[in-house]
Amino acid sequence: MGKKRTSLHATLRGGETKRAKPSPVVTAATVTAAKLTTYVPKAVWRRLKLMAIDKDKAVNDLLREALDLLLAKYGEPSLAEWEKAEK
């Protein structure tokens, strides 16, 4: 094995820095949600991103809101009700 590398920050400070602990990995096994892929025109995708920034939300949050409206339109339980039922 080679020499342990130090970070640029540590090198500039003249010493070793503590390395941050890696974030826990989220896998399909730890999440009860399923991935959903859809295709929309690029202009719609750009507009969704701008709306998310404007509303200070994630695009996923906007899409979940839209799914809730669709489920309600057809008399289905909301996402929150589905998630509660899965627990």
Q: Give per-residue pLDDT as tens, 63-72.
A: 999 999 999 9
Q: When comparing pLDDT for 9 and 80, which is higher?
A: 80
Beta-carbon contacts of residue 51 (< 8 Å; ≥ 6 apart) = 62
Percent of all residues in the chain with a pLDDT value above 70, rounded to a whole number = 71
Please check the confidence at residue 29 and state whether its pLDDT lies above 70: no
**Whole-structure pTM over 0.75, yes or no?**
no
Q: When comparing pLDDT for 16 and 6, which is higher?
A: 6
Contact between 11 and 3 under an 8 Å Cβ cutoff? The reply is no
Q: Crossing angle, helix 42-55 and helix 59-73, to 10 degrees?
A: 100
